[in-house]
Amino acid sequence: MELAIKVDVDTEQGTRIGVPQLLTLFAELNISATFLFSLGPDNTGRAIKRIFRPGFLSKIRRTKVMSNYGIKTLLYGVLIPGPNIAKKNAAIMRLTHALDHEVGIHCYDHIRWQDHVHSMSATEVQKEFEKSLNSFENVFGFPAKTAGAAGWQANTFSFAAYDKARFLYASDTRGYRPFYPRIGDTVFKTLQVPSTLPTLDEVLGLPGNELKNLTDFYLSQLQPQQANILTIHAELEGMNYLSWFREFLLAVQARNISIVKTAKIAENALKSEKDIPICGVIQASVPGRSGKLAVQEN
């Protein structure tokens, strides 16, 4: 059995504090993971506009957003100018790659992509995505080969941008196995490796899901003979929930489950390309998360 760990890095604080703490933990446990970076301004404070979405306030209460993100981060882009994440933290990003972790794109501006990508034109989506491509190459000195969209927000225009970039794979969806995405009559060329497991902020605080029970919960969700992809966040598992995450990883290793980069799941799938299904991608709700996400159809 294999478990891929994909780290979404949403904020400047998560990059500056959460990523180094995860790097230390992964070095201790001899784990290689996938880090997807936000590469432009941190405008986290603008997420306040989601307050009217069903489930948004309950998620804030369950996941203790104020204590996890801090007041300064929650003011970025509103009362405080959002810092450019890549410019301030390029050394940390390069260190991540130097330590043999996979690196890729999460977004340029997290809030702009997550909240507005579906109202953008094809040209606007391409321009926004090119900002992240250029910023990534400025930091690392080589082109990105993967991305995972902010908030699992993807559509025809973003999939077309990935095809143009000739990515090895992408991870923008929630689902159950690697697939080629189809929207309408268009089948896209970039393999999707979906997140198959719920995220910590989707399950934490729900009845029966107190933190002490979550290691057993996640272990029960892992499936043999199937790709298991867990998305974590540098701002959560890399910070306030780091101790729990260490306990979980030790429990995984104790069961001889291999922890791998997401690219390994993609590469294994591509070896048997004729067996990769073509699946529709729809906008659907996911338990524990507000709004709708890109979801793999059965």
Mean pLDDT of all residues in 200-207: 88
pLDDT of 147 strictly over 90: yes
Average pLDDT estimate for 273-293:
94
pLDDT at 52: 46
What mean pLDDT is predicted for residues 234-241? 96
Residue 103 three-state SS: strand
Q: Taking phi first (over 0 means left), then psi (-120 to 50 degrees means alpha), and beta for anything else, what does residue 164 get?
A: alpha
- Name which of 240, 296, 193 is nearest 68 in CA terms: 240
What mean pLDDT is reported for the chain? 92
Please give the pLDDT value at position 286.
95
Please compute, for residue 95, the number of CA atoms within 13 A of its CA located in the half-sphere on the CB side: 14
Secondary structure letter of residue 238 according to DSSP = I
CB 153 within 8 A of CB 114: yes
- Which amino acid is residue 171, in one-letter code? S
